[in-house]
């Protein structure tokens, strides 16, 4: 939606080649009428059939994982905004890289599960990866024109989610609707739960590890409840650069689409006179276990990040469906990491197999 708002604001600059949805064909139908994409993908095949009846031959309708691969393989586009939630975003992103396209990367799991593959392929095919996450976009902007060897550390900010001020003893009683009530950002259910557990930030640490090629000790996390300062870079001389703006995803999306240029845009206004203060706190790794697990997984390497991601997806889905407690999310993840073998492979087939094996293990054990 945010990307389409940007395209709407810059109608003469961009054209929509394709769109994808999971099941929201009512929304997609309106988008087809407005933006005239050549192709669309509906992930649920039965919904794709419904859409065909509704719109006839307005555009080509594809479906399922095969449709996602086909639409990216076609190559009739310049930029892929990779914003699918979860592991599903990995295969089409790889196809777009092989087509030498710019990747506006909003899907965390792509780098979390297959960082080495993605970075290697991007270099091989001369494909740009421009991060869309507000934190990584901030780091990317701060590093523009700087020598990477001058980086002392990067500092990723985190809102702290809805439970930053809640005592860990209260986590046992957390309800789904509480976890979905993010104080600053409007996101999908899965990403919002990840923010509540701070796994979202853990994923971002792993992403930063691959995007900026730093040691995990050079990647710091700070809680910043106002979500105004999106991230910082500290250089070898001690100076710090930061990127600030009101919390709105349209800005990093616009930057990813127009880089290295900046376009005039008045859709997001940041008025510091109305901001009472900016505060920062260290994260509590005991309270937010998922963040610590993510740091530990970087050290393990191999298939551990893939196992982490698959286990988290299963755990979050079970929590949303009311099958486990909020406190069990890190428990399921640790169980999978301890039980699924990590053979230190990093090829695509091993990653796919590890993802399926992890999901199968947890779905059977915690049925």
pLDDT at 184 over 70: no
For a pLDDT cut of 90, what percent of the chain falls above it? 78
pLDDT class of 306 with cuts at 50, 70, 90 = very high
Model confidence pLDDT, tens digit, residues 170-180 = 899 989 888 88
pLDDT tens track for 10-40 = 988 999 999 999 989 999 999 999 999 999 9
Ramachandran sector of residue 301 (left: φ over 0; alpha: ψ -120 to 50; beta: rest): left
Q: Where in the chain is the domain with CATH 3.40.50.720?
A: 2-131
- Please state the rounded mean pLDDT for residues 340-358: 87
> CB–CB of 350/367 below 8 Å?
no
Options 2.40.50.100, 3.40.50.300, 1.10.3720.10, 1.10.1740.10; which CATH number does 301-367 get? Answer: 1.10.1740.10
Local confidence band at 57 (pLDDT 50, 70, 90 cut-offs): confident
**Where in the chain is CATH 1.10.1740.10?**
301-367
Q: For 215-253, write each residue's pLDDT tens digit.
A: 999 999 999 999 999 999 999 999 999 999 999 999 999
pLDDT in tens, 271-304: 999 888 999 999 999 999 999 999 999 988 899 9
Contact (CB, 8 A) for 114 and 91: no
pTM summary value = 0.92
Three-class secondary structure of residue 348 per DSSP:
helix
Cα–Cα distance measured from residue 63 to residue 163, given in angstroms and rounded to the nearest whole number: 38
Class of domain 2-131: alpha beta
């Amino acid at each position: 939606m945010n990307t389409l708002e940007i395209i709407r604001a810059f109608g003469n600059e961009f054209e929509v080649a394709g769109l994808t949805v999971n099941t929201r064909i009512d929304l997609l139908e309106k988008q087809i009428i407005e933006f005239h994409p050549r192709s669309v993908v509906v992930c649920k095949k039965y919904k794709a059939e419904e859409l065909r009846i509704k719109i006839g031959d307005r555009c080509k309708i594809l479906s399922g994982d095969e449709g996602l691969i086909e639409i990216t393989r076609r190559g009739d586009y310049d930029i892929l905004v990779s914003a699918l939630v979860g592991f599903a975003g990995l295969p089409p992103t790889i196809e777009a890289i092989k087509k030498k396209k710019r990747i506006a990367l909003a899907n965390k799991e792509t780098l979390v599960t297959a960082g080495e593959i993605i970075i290697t392929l991007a270099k091989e095919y001369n494909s740009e990866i421009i991060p869309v996450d507000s934190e990584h976009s901030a780091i990317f902007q701060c590093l523009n024109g700087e020598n990477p060897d001058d980086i002392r550390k990067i500092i990723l900010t985190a809102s702290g989610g809805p439970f930053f001020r809640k005592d860990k003893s209260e986590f046992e009683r957390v309800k789904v609707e509480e976890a979905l009530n993010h104080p600053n950002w409007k996101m999908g259910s899965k990403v919002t739960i990840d923010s509540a557990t701070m796994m979202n930030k853990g994923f971002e640490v792993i992403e930063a590890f691959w995007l900026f090629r730093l040691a995990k000790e050079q990647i710091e996390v700070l809680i910043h409840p106002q979500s105004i300062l999106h991230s910082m870079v500290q250089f070898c001389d001690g100076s710090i650069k930061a990127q600030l703006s009101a919390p709105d995803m349209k800005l990093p999306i616009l930057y990813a689409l127009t880089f290295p240029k900046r376009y005039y845009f008045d859709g997001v206004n940041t008025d510091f006179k109305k901001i009472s203060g900016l505060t920062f706190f260290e994260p509590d790794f005991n309270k937010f276990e998922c963040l610590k697990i993510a740091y530990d997984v970087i050290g393990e390497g191999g298939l551990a990040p893939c196992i982490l991601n698959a286990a988290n997806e299963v755990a979050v889905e079970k929590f949303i469906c009311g099958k486990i407690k909020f406190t069990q999310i890190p428990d399921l993840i640790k169980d999978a990491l301890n039980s699924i073998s990590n053979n230190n492979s990093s090829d695509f087939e091993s990653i796919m197999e590890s993802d399926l094996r992890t999901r199968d293990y947890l779905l059977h054990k915690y049925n």
